[in-house]
Chains A and B, each alone.
Chain A
Amino acid sequence: MKKVYLPVVLLVILSVFITACGKTESQSADKNEISGTITFLTNRTDMIGEKYDDYAKRFNEKYPDAHVEFEAVTDLDKTTKIRVGSGEFPDVVLIPTIPNSDLPKYFAPLDDLGLNDRIYFKDYKSFENKVYGISVGATTTGILYNKKAFADAGITTVPQTLDEFYAAADKLKAAGKVALASNFKDQWTLYPWSSEIPTAIAGDADLNNNRLQSDAPYQLDNPYGQSMGIIRNMYEKGYLEPDINSTNWEQSKKDIASGKFAMYVIGNWAIPQVIESGTDSANIGYFPFPYDNSDKHNVTLAPDWAYGVNKNSEHPATAKAFVKWMLEDSGFDDFAGFIPVLKDKKPAVTQLTEFNSFKPKYLEAVSDDPKVTAIVNKAQITKEAFVQEFVLASDPQTIIDKYNAAWANAKKSLGN
């Protein structure tokens, strides 16, 4: 091994020289002053040179000594994870999927921002009572629909129960439309059926974590089976795309916008994307998913990526001020169609106002139990693939059994 290190050492020395040459700014500023230039690593490549230019300018107006630069990557989680792991990463990042117990190793606590009592998901990225990450916004899951498609099919009121929902789907089918765009083939679009909707049915944000107590967490008649049963039923009745194994997510947004497809079961983040695909905001509506025949609706409230501040940042005060500015003043949540993570801020998106008019009960997401994540990874369960197999199988019980067996095996081998 010794020989291997030599070239590494040489290269490191070389790169230190090169970076040293590049540094012209002196780094003598006080750490508590809001000044200097910080970098924010983001996943919004589309906002570089557009909205971010405006943010940089406005941030600088508020803090004349401070500048922010933006770096965007498409493969956020992988890239950030590697860079965080190496210890060299920008001042502000979106925290990648690492265990919460590792957060203090890389990130600075954000408790001194004074936001703890005002935000959702305070405990989501925290460890030992310190908050290390604040979500950029919150999303809920519901039904996004094309109002004109509903009107064309003669649906006058938004379905409030599961029976009404099936009836509406039937009318849409009769009108020659795809009632619900599942984007089945694309797989990731099926996530609500295996996590959000079961959680809403159970009325318990801890549903996914409670799997830890069971050797057979999936049953046909429990929330998971009920939820997947709904999409299976939709498939059998022909309410989904004509061939669910040949769907196209990008195309489906245009089809929803044009009214060829009527509904999505999806997060509210999709609203601006559908509107951009060629329709008016007024034509797109959003309502809670009626998973049963009662008139009460639970909906999940889930965090998005969370801002984290590099604990070795040269300008920690500036980085923190930037996080606070993003949450309070930037208007990013409205721009991106999020529910603001600050509880006292109302969403500006009209579709969310419509959604809230149905008085849904929000279930605030809890962070994943690392033990549950470990079992899922060990058993190699892709929750969306589970939905696919459940829908396509001739007997869904066999799929339930298969996943329960994988779950129980993994659980046993990890000693839980």
Chain B
Amino acid sequence: MSHISYPLQRKFILISFLLIPLALLALFTYYPAMRLVYLSFTSWDGISPVKEWLGLGNYIEIFTNPDLFGVFLHQIPYVLIGIIQNIVAIVFAVILNSKLRGRNFFRVMLFLPFIMNAVAVAFMFQYVFDTTNGSLNGLLGLVGLESWQQSWLGNASLVNYALASIGFWRFMGYNMVIYLGALQSIPGDMYEAAKIDGASRFQMLWSLTIPNLTPIISLNMFLTLSGALAVFDLPFVLTKGGPAGASETFLFKTIETAFQFNNYGLASAMSVVLLLFTAIILLVQNLVINRKGD
């Protein structure tokens, strides 16, 4: 080894240390992703060795078949509730960032839902939303609001809001923690200066806190929107897409297409479309927020 120069040795060590993680990354991330794109142009059925090349056929099918593309409408409630979720998260973050007795307790309480397993949460809410024995209808009955009792998961116009509210319950605390972290990084002397200038609490929130939070709001909105695009676990466990398909989501359809109808080619194309949509959202959001910042 001694006849190899030091820089060469260094390079050798670097490369050999990187080789295994890079090989694993390539094997389990980039290779499957490239296969996915390739499969999206074929009519593969999941087992046959023959993969018939369809060109753009699968993509045309997605954008022309309202049964596939139309389910995005079911995901609008998730976006709406996601926006409310972010507003509420900011409010809670601001409140819990002030000197409040027991604030750590409240932070933990609000964050706890996030660490629970998604499927367990869905099962839990099955009992909450149950029409006859559910705790939500039970509570409404107890406080005398019998007229509000609903078939929460059986009403086609309500089901997606009911499901999205589970997402709200689960992710609000997570958003809040991110906002809290951002709030704590705003220097205290800026608030002091604002106070000296005679700013009210609301003025401080609106002109100081919110502008400082913008990049974090953009991050959280991205997480929320991409989450809303990729909802799957809640309808899968709670409603199986029902009643009569009202709570099917695009990812739900994708999984059904692949594993129930054995059309892996079309399902791959649907995954690619979802990926592109997420990228487009990210791009548009960045453009909007950057323009505001300049």
Q: Are A246 and B130 in contact (CB under 8 A)?
A: yes
A98 interface residue (CB < 8 Å to B): yes
* Cα of A361 to Cα of B85 in the assembled complex, Å: 59
Q: Is there an interface contact between A389 and B244, defined as CB atoms closer than 8 Å?
A: yes
Query: Which residue of A84, A242, A245, A378 is within 8 Å of B242 (Cβ)?
Result: A245
Interface presence of B80 (CB below 8 A):
no
Asked if B209 is at the interface (CB within 8 A of a chain A CB), the reply is no
Establish whether residues A245 and B261, one from each chain, have CB atoms under 8 Å apart when the complex forms: no
Asked if A243 contacts B151 (CB within 8 A), the reply is: yes
Q: Given A8-B27, A377-B262, A380-B67, decide whether A85 and B130 contact each other with a Cβ distance below 8 A.
A: no
Which residues of A lie under 8 Å from residue B244 when comparing CB positions? Answer: 385, 388-389, 392-393
Q: Is the CB of A187 within 8 A of B131?
A: no
Q: A242 with B67: in contact, given A8-B31, A10-B23 (CB under 8 Å)?
A: no
For this complex, 24 residue pairs linking A to B, each with C-beta atoms less than 8 Å apart, are A4-B34, A7-B31, A8-B27, A8-B31, A81-B46, A81-B47, A85-B47, A185-B153, A185-B239, A185-B242, A185-B243, A187-B240, A187-B242, A245-B131, A245-B153, A245-B155, A246-B130, A246-B152, A376-B261, A378-B261, A380-B257, A380-B261, A382-B260, A388-B244
CB neighbours of A349 from chain B (8 A): none
Whether A158 is near chain B, meaning CB under 8 Å from some CB there, is: no
Given contacts A245-B131, A246-B130, 4 further A-B contacts (CB under 8 A): A102-B47, A185-B243, A242-B132, A380-B256
**Residues of chain B lying within 8 A (CB to CB) of residue A388:** 242-244
Cα A23 to Cα B256 with chains together (Å): 39
Q: Which chain B residue shows the least CB distance to A97? A: B262
Residues of B within 8 A of A385 (CB): 241-242, 244-245
Interface bin, chain B: 35 or more
**Residue of B241, B257, B259, B262 ringed by the most chain A CB atoms within 10 A:** B262
Interface range for A: 20 to 34
Interfacial residues, chain A to chain B (CB-CB below 8 A): 4, 7-8, 10-11, 78, 81, 84-85, 97-98, 102, 185-188, 241-246, 248, 376-378, 380, 382, 385, 388-389, 392-393
A244 proximity list for chain B (CB < 8 A): 154
Q: Chain B contact residues: over half helix, strand or loop, or mixed?
A: loop
Is B78 part of the contact surface with A, judged by Cβ < 8 Å?
Answer: no
Chain A residues near B261 (CB, 8 Å)? Answer: 376-378, 380
Give per-residue flags for B113-150: 1 if the beta carbon is below 8 A from chain A beta carbons, else 0. 00000000000001001111010000000000000000
Closest A-chain residue to B238, C-beta based? A185
A11–B26 Cα gap in the complex (Å)? 11
Of all chain A residues, which has the CB nearest B65? A380
Check if B63 is an interface residue, CB within 8 A of chain A: no
Contact status A245-B27, CB under 8 Å: no
A105 to B126, CA, bound (A): 44
B214 within 8 A of A: no
Question: B26 contacts which of A4, A241, A242, A248 (Cβ < 8 Å)?
Answer: A4
> Across the interface, which residues of A come within 8 angstroms of B155, CB to CB?
245
Least Cβ distance of A77 to chain B in Å? Answer: 8
The answer to whether A243 touches B259 (Cβ under 8 A) is no
Contacts of A186 in B (CB 8 A): 240
Contact among A4, A85, A242, A377 with B131 in the assembled complex (CB-CB below 8 Å):
A242
Report the Cα distance A98→B47, complex, angstroms. Answer: 8
> Which of B155, B244, B245: most chain A Cβ within 10 A?
B244
Do A392 and B243 touch across chains, with their CB atoms under 8 A apart?
yes
Partner of B263, one of A78, A187, A377: A377
Q: How far is the CA of A85 from the CA of B49 in the complex (A)?
A: 9
Report if B30 contacts A (CB, 8 A).
Answer: yes
Q: Which residues of B contact A187 (CB under 8 A)?
A: 240-242
Judge whether B185 is part of the interface by a CB distance below 8 angstroms. no
Contact B260 A246 (CB under 8 A): no
- Distance in Å from the Cβ of B70 to the closest Cβ of chain A? 13
Residue B5 at the chain A interface, CB threshold 8 Å: no
Are A185 and B154 closer than 8 Å at their CB atoms?
yes
Shortest distance between the CB of B151 and any CB in chain A (Å)? 5
**1/0 per position for B2-34, CB-CB distance to A under 8 A?**
000000000000000000001110110011001
Are the CB atoms of A246 and B47 closer together than 8 Å?
no
Question: Which chain B residues lie closer than 8 Å to A392 at the CB level?
Answer: 243-244
Other-chain residue from B26, B131, B256, B263 in contact with A246 (beta carbon distance below 8 A): B131
> How far, in angstroms, from A185 to B130 measured CA to CA in the complex?
11
Q: How far is the CA of A187 from the CA of B248 in the complex (A)?
A: 13
Closest-by-CB residue of B relative to A102 is B47
CA distance A10 to B27 in the complex (A): 10
Bound Cα distance from A85 to B22, whole angstroms: 27
The answer to whether the Cβ of B48 comes within 8 Å of any Cβ in the partner chain is: yes
